[in-house]
Amino acid sequence: MNRAELNIERNYLVIDGQHIEKTTKTDSDRHLALDGISIDLLAAYRAALEGAIAPAGLQLADDSFVFSPDPAGLRPWNPSHFTHRFRHYADAVGIEEPLKNLRHFNATQLLAAGVDLRTTAARLGHSGGGATTLRVYASATQAADRAAPEGLARGLTQLRNPSGGSLMPLTESPRRCSSKFPTSGGAEVSRSRPPLVGRTGR
């Protein structure tokens, strides 16, 4: 928790009564950054567990399970436990959506907030650089897509007018600037050239 990071290294399954630990679905570890609120909740939860088992002379191991029916975190809950508990509380408040919809909520919120596709895919555990994420959650990117041209327009406006003043409407004809050049006979000839609308740098 000192690094504010969650490491996902194993997958726990219960099949026909057999408890199985295997690699993740993508056969690779995942490292996800955690927010400050989650860190505080986990730290408080661990402190409460340590306080509860201390009178019995027990300590939490470094690799103890966070979600466990055992006070010392020696074994994990059956994965179906959370599905049943969620259903119990959801029914009590009239929520019909299943637990897996929280995963969909996570994905759509990340994409709608403008988090890039590759980062979202990595947090969901999707392989393929985001192809699966894009296919499943394509509709969630529409809000970000609508916001994209506005951000681009603001950037272009700042480039065209760094001073922050009003821009000349594109429907108006730009005024032309005159420059006078001497001729070989000493007379001056006026030549016109369009004004510079913006500045460019190399």
pLDDT reported for residue 162: 65
pLDDT digits (tens, 9 = 90+) for 156-167: 777 777 666 555
d(CA 162, CA 11): 53
User: pLDDT class for 197, splitting at 50, 70, 90?
Assistant: very low
Q: Which residues of 133-160 are buried (b: 16+ CB within 10 A; e: fewer)?
A: bbeebeebbeebeeeeeeeeeeeeeeee
Question: What is the model's pLDDT at position 198?
Answer: 47
pLDDT at 55: 94
Q: Comparing C-alpha atoms, which of 3, 67, 62 is closest to residue 32?
A: 3
**Residue where the block lists tokens 């027990």:** 58
Q: Give the C-alpha separation, 121 to 140, whole Å.
A: 13
What are the beta bridge partners of residue 12? 21
pLDDT tens-digit map of 97-120: 999 888 888 888 888 788 888 888
Structure tokens at 115: 């988090």
* Residues 12-35, mean pLDDT to the nearest whole number: 82
Q: Which of 88, 87, 58 is nearest to 70 (CA)?
A: 58
Which range, 11-20, 177-186, 189-198, has the best average confidence (pLDDT)? 11-20
Has residue 85 got a pLDDT over 90?
Answer: yes
Give the H/E segment covering residue 136. helix 131-136
**Distance between CA 106 and CA 124 in Å, rounded?**
9
Tens-digit pLDDT profile for residues 134-155: 777 766 666 666 666 776 777 7
Confidence at residue 126, expressed as pLDDT on a 0 to 100 scale: 79
Compute the average pLDDT of residues 170-194.
50
Q: Amino acid identity, residue 84?
A: H
pLDDT of residue 167: 53
Pull the structure tokens for residue 86. 């969620």
pTM: 0.58
